[in-house]
Structure formats: structure tokens, C-alpha cells
Amino acid sequence: MWMLILLFLSLILAFYFFLTSNYGYWKKRGVPHPPISIFFGNLKESVFIKKSLAQVYTQMYNAYPHLLYVGFYKIRQPAILVRDAELLKSVLISEFHSFHDNDFHIDEKTDPMFGKNPFVLKGDRWKVARNQLIPCFTTKKVKSMFPLIEEVGKKIVAYLNRTPEAWGTEGLETKELAAKFTTDAVATCAFGLDGRAFEDPNSEFREIGRKLLTPSLMLALTHLCIMLVPSLANVLNAKFFPDEVANYFRTLVNKTLKYRKENNIVRGDFLDVMKAFKSKLGDDVFSNEEIAAGAAGFYGDGYETSSITISYALYELAVHLDIQAKLRSEIDNILAKNGGKLSYEDLVENTYLDNVLQETLRKHPPAPIMFKICTKPFKLPSPFGEGKGPDVTIEPGTPVIIPSYAIHYDDQYYPDPEKFDPDRFSEENKESRPKCTFLSFGEGPRMCLGMRFGVTQVKVAIASVIANFEVRLNKKTIVPLEIDPQYFLLKAKGDIWLNYYKRK
Ligand code: HEM
């Protein structure tokens, strides 16, 4: 009996030692860090799902206004959070070779779909996968998708016109409205399918999105486990793409490729680009499994980030009616010039719509943190500034956090940061800010691959709605919006209810 108790106590002691043995790491190197919680390092509030990681890292960022970077413990692992714009530039661009991987460790056997996504692939495999996807998102390709996205723009208008809740006292839940839009846009642009999200509330394609990403305690714990303790995620078989979703994309790809072959259909879309790789590389290197992973990635990366952006943009426009009116006048002019149609060229950039979109993404970046990892030893100046103390060498394997959300709310770059002000993104104002202080799509060689497509679909959604409806806040929306701590992306807690009144 005593032996058992002794064994048990030794195990607890060994576990305690294992969890806390690194906690002197930053002190030894003279790098300040926030107070540690035993067992959780500096992430206790996120582990208990009281605050999102974006909020926890923003607190850290704000607590050390005079430092270039802050040390912290990702549970037990020493990590750094970058604060300084010059250092951000080094990590993301000029010294990319020392930070080229993202800090995600997905076992391809456990999660074959997410494990093949360029976002989590490392080293040369990342380069190959990224290069294979680049042809799907060129300007030419996205321009060729524009008429398809425009059709979905007509669908959102028709849906709002035939849905009495939209203009009645009840209002419409806007995250769901935006998700319907991006579900249909991705279905048509990537696979040549009609997602039917506006016609059928439980359409197959929309249901897949719900299975993948409906916020819940279980989903939050799964994602936290994958992000913070990947070895435990593998033991628990925790995965980003559940088997049911992975199998859906396998079947979809097999069926669609077969149908296209039998009917001689060529659309030049994502599936056709993938099929061309299959023919070039052979089935052994690039099989339907690779194509299914690409399809799941297009869906996963493409629909949620953009629908979050659309819902935040419509919310901000409903709160700021003067900005909404100014935007509507610009869209009216574009429509008048083009015979009532939107045009890709007119929506690309240098428009007020572009400023509204960028300011939405500043205040509400859907991906509020970038998780990098040091891949080669790298010498940092003292955290107090160049020459103000000894240099610090960070070792390969050290997580490096880029706190995009915190940077977007730093008043040295964005005075009065809570204010929604699209003019911050006029050409002149953009040029006055240091590089790497707007990070909604990342920066450098790993910058968002689907940005062009994402921006285009978001702009078409906003322009279609604003051209046809006056958007107002419904009283069911709790203002100000809060961040949902259960979600790894930045999403509003609770619903966003808005009214859509037909223009007279
Ligand atoms: C408003 C919409 C979007 C936002 C805000 C967004 C944001 C981001 C961010 C912040 C990153 C990480 C960059 C980094 O780690 O350095 C990223 C990566 C990525 N995004 Fe997006 N994204 C959006 C839309 C899309 C769309 C529509 C697609 C594809 C259909 C897409 C595909 C990807 C891929 C494949 C990566 C990984 C790139 C790599 O590691 O090389 N994204 N995105």
C-alpha cells in the first residue's frame, strides 16, 4: 500500500517537474514575461475558455508598451510575442528563412485533410503545395470567377427581398446570411455546383460548414488541444476535419471528376487545375485524396473567414449610417456607369468600398493571431531595444506569436482605435504607417493565398446588399459586440441581428 502511495506521489512530482521545469527560461535570458500560472503557463484564461487567445495575447501586448517583444510560456514551452514593427518585418519578410513554418503540428494520419493544407505544411512540402494552388488564385482566374460570384450577389438580393423577417421587426441573423453567400460562392467557383444555401436552409453544402465550424465547447476544446498540445490531440484522435466532412469531400471530388470526364466538361476552375496536376504528376504522387484535401481546404479557408468579414462589415455599416450612405453613393455610380452591373475592375481597389473593407478587417481580423515557429537560430536585440542589454538568441522550435489584433488596436498606428474610420485606409494614410501594421492577410511569402478571391467575394456581397437595401441595427443585437472565446477565429459572441429595408 505504502509503495503504491509513494509511486503515486512520485508520479505527481515528476509531472509537476515536467510542467514547470522550463519556467526559469526567460528570467535566465533577461526577457520580461507575465506572471506564470503553474500548469498553464500564460494561457490559463484561454485553456478555461474564459478569453480567446486573441484577447490573452492582446493583454500581453498592452502590458509591455516599451518592449520590442515579450517572453511567455505556451503551457510549458517558452515562446515570444512580437511587439515591434521592425521585428515583425524581420519575422514575416526579411528573415523569413528563420521563421518559415507555422506553429501547427498536424499528424497527416490522424487528420489527412487538414494535414495536407499549405497553412500547416512545413519546409519544402509547404512550398510545393503552395505552388500547386497559386494558379487557382491569379488575377485572371479570380476575374473569370467574377460573373459566378455576381450571380450569388443576385441570390442574396432575391433572398432578402422574399424574406419578410429582413424588413420586419424580427430582423435577420447576419452571420448566417453571410455564410449562405460564401457557401454558394465557394460551391460555384471551386466545384461548379449550386450550393442552394439560399433556397434550402439545410442544403448539403451549408450543413458541411455547420459540421466543421459551429462554435461549441467541444469544438473549442478540440481546437485548443490541436493548437496547444498537438501530441495529446493525436492520442485523442482530435482533428480539424471530422471523418464525416473528409468523406464528404472525397465523394464530392470522385463524383464530380467522373461526371466531368463522362460529359467532357471543362470549366477551368479549381477542380480542373487540380485535375491537370493529377495528369502531369501521376496518380501515385497526386491522387484524388490530394484533390479532396485541396477541395476541403478551399472550402474551409474560403467560406468562414469571408463570411465573418461580411457580417462585421454589414454590422459596422448599420452602426455608421453616414459611412453607409457614402458607400451607397459610390456603388450607385459604379452601377450607373456599367449599365446596372458590378464590374471586377471597378471593385478591385482604390475605392471607398476597399477602405470600408480594410477598416472592417482592421477592427475585426478573422484570423487575429499568426502562429509562427523559429526554424533556424535567430539573434534578437535586447527586448528593451538595440544596445540596451544583451542580445537574445532564440532556438529552433520556439513559437513566435504575431498578435495582429493587438497591433490593429495600437494607438501609435491607429489613433482612437475603437473608432470605425475607413479613411484610415486612404492611399495617403496607408503610406504614413509602418509596414506590417495591417496584418489581416498576413505578410511576406506565407501571406494568404486566397486573398484575391476572398476580397472579391466579400466586396460583391457588400455591394449587392448596400445597392439594394438600407441596413439598420435590430434591437436584438447586443452592442458593443464581444469576442466569442469558444472560437479560434475572431467571431462575435451571440448573434448579429440586422434589418434590411428595401430602397425606395
Ligand atoms: C477575408 C478573407 C480571408 C482572410 C482574412 C484570410 C486571412 C489569412 C491569414 C491571416 C493567413 C495566414 C498568413 C500567415 O500565416 O502568414 C491566411 C493563410 C491562408 N489563406 Fe487566407 N484569408 C481569407 C480568405 C481566404 C480564402 C478565400 C482562401 C482560399 C479559398 C484562403 C486560403 C488561405 C491559405 C491556403 C493560406 C495558407 C497560406 C500559406 O501558409 O502559404 N484564405 N489567410
Q: Is pLDDT at 2 greater than 80 in this prediction?
A: no
Q: Say what the pLDDT of residue 328 is.
A: 96
Peptide bond into 480 cis (omega under 30): yes
* Ligand 1 contact, 178 CB (< 6 A): no
CATH number of 358's domain: 1.10.630.10
Cβ neighbours, 10 Å, residue 405: 24
- Nearest residue (CA) to ligand 1, atom 30: 302
pLDDT for residue 352:
95
- Domain with 382, as residue range(s), is 2-502
Which one has a higher pLDDT value, 493 or 60? 60
Per the listing, cell 490541436 goes with: 226
Ligand 1 pocket test, pick from 440, 448, 452 with the greatest ligand atom count within 8 Å of Cβ, gives: 448
Per-residue pLDDT band for 62 (boundaries 50, 70, 90) equals: very high
Whether a cis peptide bond, with omega within 30° of 0, leads into 417 is no
The pLDDT of residue 81 is above 80: yes
Q: Confirm or reject: Cβ of 234 under 6 Å from ligand 1.
A: no
ipTM of the complex: 0.99
3-state SS assignment for residue 45: helix
Tens of pLDDT, residue by residue over 338-384, are 888 888 888 876 699 999 999 999 999 999 999 999 999 999 999 99
Could you give the C-alpha distances from 448 to 137, 241, 258, 327, in angstroms and in order?
A: 11, 20, 31, 26
Whether the CB-CB separation of 34 and 56 falls below 8 Å is answered with no
Question: What predicted TM-score, i.e. pTM, was given to this entire model?
Answer: 0.94
pLDDT digits over 187-210, tens only?
999 888 899 999 998 998 888 888
448 is in an annotated binding site: yes
Q: How far apart are CA 313 and CA 135, in angstroms?
A: 29
Is residue 182 classed as helix, strand or coil in its secondary structure?
helix
Question: Per-residue pLDDT tens for 216-266?
Answer: 787 888 888 888 887 788 788 888 888 888 899 999 999 998 999 899 888
What is the pLDDT of the chain when averaged over all its residues? 91
Distance of CA 247 to the CA centre of its chain: 24
Q: At residue 486, does pLDDT exceed 90?
A: no
- Rounding to the nearest 10 degrees, give the CA dihedral for residues 453, 457, 462, 468: 140
Q: Total structural domains in the chain?
A: 1
Cα of 10 vs centre of ligand 1, distance in Å, is 46
